[in-house]
Chains A and B, each alone.
Chain A
């Protein structure tokens, strides 16, 4: 049962992260420090689920297909540090044009991650 709960937590965390685009529905809203703060905290929730999934995988608690799933997810998570640093810099400089571009890239990346990882985890994590 705990294994299934972990998979559900992972899916929920990633789907919440994929909803980052909802934070910026109005094109005229600035990507300010508060928005950045919300993005960061949302991603912390998602990574809490990812971390739990990885630790369970490392401990052999869940099906070992999880190793393949983590490799697939890392294709996306390894791109995040660069994008997050760019977003942070542009927000702090109040460079709205570039902040918007990077923010869009992040939301698209997370959406791709969510779709790929949730399907893989749910298919093989039970």
Chain B
């Protein structure tokens, strides 16, 4: 696992979270994802439940974005 790549992603994620907060938008999902990335980089082990929860969250976000008239 490329730790440097993980940290690069975390860094970009922090930028996103900061900008979302400054724009007055919800950053909770992004914050949780960042926390997951950081913990994953530290521990290197993900449980099936953690993976399932993350998959469900991502699926919901993709569906929400792809829904409705733009």
Q: State the A residues within 8 Å of B (CB).
A: 2, 5-6, 8-9, 12-13, 15-16, 19-20, 22-26, 29, 33-38, 40-52, 54-58, 66-68, 70-71, 73-74, 77-78, 80-81, 84, 88
Contact = CB atoms under 8 A, between A and B. Distances in A.
A19 B12 contact: yes
Size bracket, chain B contacts: 35 or more
Contact of A16 (B2, B13, B46): B13
Contacts of A40: 51, 54-55, 58
Contacts of A47: 29, 58, 61-62, 65
Interface of B: 1-2, 4-6, 8-9, 12-13, 15-17, 19-20, 22-27, 29-30, 32-34, 36-37, 40, 44-46, 48, 50-51, 54-55, 57-59, 61-66, 68, 70
B21 to A, nearest CB: 9
Contacts of B5: 19, 22-23, 25
Question: Which one of B20, B36, B64 has the greatest number of beta carbons of chain A within 10 Å?
Answer: B20
A90 B60 CA distance: 21
7 contacts: A9-B20, A16-B9, A34-B40, A48-B17, A51-B61, A56-B23, A77-B62
A50 B65 CA distance: 7
A81 B26 CA distance: 23
A48 B66 contact: no
Nearest to A54: B65
Nearest to B24: A2
B1 A35 contact: yes
B65 to A, nearest CB: 5
